[in-house]
Amino acid sequence: PTWKVCMNEIEQPIHSTEENSRIVVCVRKRPISKKERSKNDPDVISTVDNTLQVFEPKLKVDLTKYTEVHEFSFDKIFNEESNNMMVYKNCAQPLVFAFFKGCKVTCFAYGQTGAGKTYTMMGTNEEPGLYTLALQDIFRLKAKPEYSHLGVYISFFEIYGAKLFDLLNGRRRIECREDAKQRVRIIGLEQRLCNTAQDVFQILEEGAQARSTGSTGANADSSRSHAILQIQLKHMNDKSTSHEEDPAYTFGKLSFIDLAGSERAADTTHSDRQTRMEGAEINKSLLALKECIRALDQNHHHTPFRGSKLTLVLKDSFLSIDSRTVMIANISPSASNCEHTLNTLRYADRVKELRKDSSGSRRQSCAFSNSASSVDSKEYDENRKE
């Protein structure tokens, strides 16, 4: 589809092949870094259209010979020449349009530490990321008269070792529970009404600051936590205030998630107990996430959202009929990261795999045979509420 974007007006695409696809899986390869170049760490990833090849080095000492070539294909592949705007236009902008139709949409950045998740999501001053690009569009769309009854609410929090911390409140500890109607509530989460993208940028800065410094002292290494930016469109009442706490007033919901480094999920054998526990938690959440996304595609009656805090806070998005999910798998191009890259690509491959045969017969989800998860499978016996 061709997208037309100008400063004051956004036209929606006339036709989009992804229109009916609830899950889109993309891969983004970052450029070789200066450090990698100086170490003669070669680029082992080649991309052609929507296929990607990984040349697995034979020996770490002889990087010119390859034993195996692994080939993958995804919905979209971005290479080192792609910028954040291209990723935005192709991956996130369709979500923004769906959000304004009242959908619950989610965009994840998955991958090992250093692969480019934060660069994609948050971006830099010179190269604004998906947060910024989406917010600019959101406030342009919001200015249209047909959306004047809606307010844009922002919350920004992180999940670290199964605990939630509000990044807009000095990284204060908050709790997440299901109420009597089995709706998930995050008690005490700050939701700020914003009128301009600039308002939000300020909030993001505040959140990023809290993420790295915090008030609790013992702060999470950001590679070990999931950062979640939630943007909600809510119906405003006559007094121009929304019933912030009441989910019934939510029209659309957009969640951007900068996941913990996927390599941390392997820390379960680490010598340090704390690190091991964090690793197990990350492992659990990434497995649960994969299964929840797969369940979305399958219209499963058993979405395992209770498998982790991460998936629990996204329950309404997973159970919504109008959900859309984009997963961006960020990868490093270098030979030295090849193993992690293959793990990331296999994970992404699993997420999109079932789409081809999603015609009816349900398959049993298998993630929870993994020993890292001790969750009772009976807990998932829950019908769709929406």
List residues forming the annotated binding site for ATP: 111-118
Binding segment (CB under 6 A) for ligand ADP, from list 28-36, 170-178, 266-274, 336-344: 28-36
Rounded Cα gap, residues 355 and 344, in angstroms: 18
Please state the closest distance from residue 118 (CB atom) to ligand ADP, in A.
3
Q: Which of Mg ion, ligand ADP, none does residue 31 bind to, with CB < 5 to 8 Å depending on kind?
A: ligand ADP
Residues 6 or more apart whose Cβ sits within 8 Å of residue 259: 108, 109, 110, 111, 117, 226, 286, 289
Please state the closest distance from residue 61 (CB atom) to ligand ADP, in A.
26
DSSP output for 7-28: SS-EEPPS--TTTT-SEEEEEE
Among 115, 134, 231, 338, binds ligand ADP (CB under 6 A): 115
Please state the closest distance from residue 116 (CB atom) to Mg ion, in A.
8
Please state the closest distance from residue 33 (CB atom) to ligand ADP, in A.
6
Rounded Cα gap, residues 176 and 58, in angstroms: 47
Q: Which of Mg ion, ligand ADP, none does residue 114 bind to, with CB < 5 to 8 Å depending on kind?
A: ligand ADP
Rounded Cα gap, residues 161 and 37, in angstroms: 35
Binding segment (CB under 5 A) for Mg ion, from list 5-13, 117-125, 226-234, 355-363: 117-125
Among 93, 308, 323, 330, binds ligand ADP (CB under 6 A): 330
313 CB-side CA count, 13 A? 28
Backbone angles phi, psi at 227, to 5 degrees: -100, 130
Q: Which of Mg ion, ligand ADP, none does residue 79 bind to, with CB < 5 to 8 Å depending on kind?
A: none
For 320, other C-beta atoms within 10 Å of its C-beta total: 18
Helix axis angle, 273-298 to 338-353, nearest 10°: 30
Rounded Cα gap, residues 119 and 308, in angstroms: 26
What does the block give as tokens for 135? 């917010």
Q: Which of Mg ion, ligand ADP, none does residue 172 bind to, with CB < 5 to 8 Å depending on kind?
A: none
Per rule CB under 6 A, count of chain residues that contact ligand ADP: 13
Q: Residues forming the annotated binding site?
A: 111-118
Please state the closest distance from residue 153 (CB atom) to ligand ADP, in A.
26
Mask: binding to ligand ADP, 117-146, rule CB under 6 A, as x and -?
xxx---------------------------
Among 84, 112, 118, 225, binds Mg ion (CB under 5 A): 118
Q: With respect to ligand ADP, which residue has the nearer C-beta, 21 or 79?
A: 79
Rounded Cα gap, residues 142 and 254, in angstroms: 14
- How many residues appear in the chain? 386
| Rounded alpha-carbon distances, angstroms, from residue 252 to 62, 147, 230, 255, 260 | 52, 12, 10, 10, 25
For 259, other C-beta atoms within 10 Å of its C-beta total: 26
For 378, other C-beta atoms within 10 Å of its C-beta total: 7
30 scored as a contact of ligand ADP (CB under 6 A): yes
Q: With respect to ligand ADP, which residue has the nearer C-beta, 118 or 308?
A: 118
226 scored as a contact of ligand ADP (CB under 6 A): no
H/E run at residue 273: helix 273-298
DSSP state of 46: E
Residue 30's Cβ-count burial label (10 Å; 0-12, 13-18, 19+) is buried
Please state the closest distance from residue 129 (CB atom) to ligand ADP, in A.
9
Q: Which of ligand ADP, Mg ion, none does residue 214 bind to, with CB < 5 to 8 Å depending on kind?
A: none
Per rule CB under 5 A, count of chain residues that contact Mg ion: 2
Mask: binding to Mg ion, 63-102, rule CB under 5 A, as x and -?
----------------------------------------
Please state the closest distance from residue 203 (CB atom) to ligand ADP, in A.
20
88 scored as a contact of ligand ADP (CB under 6 A): no
Please state the closest distance from residue 119 (CB atom) to Mg ion, in A.
8
**Site residues, ligand ADP (CB under 6 A):** 30-31, 33, 111, 113-119, 223, 330
**Site residues, Mg ion (CB under 5 A):** 117-118
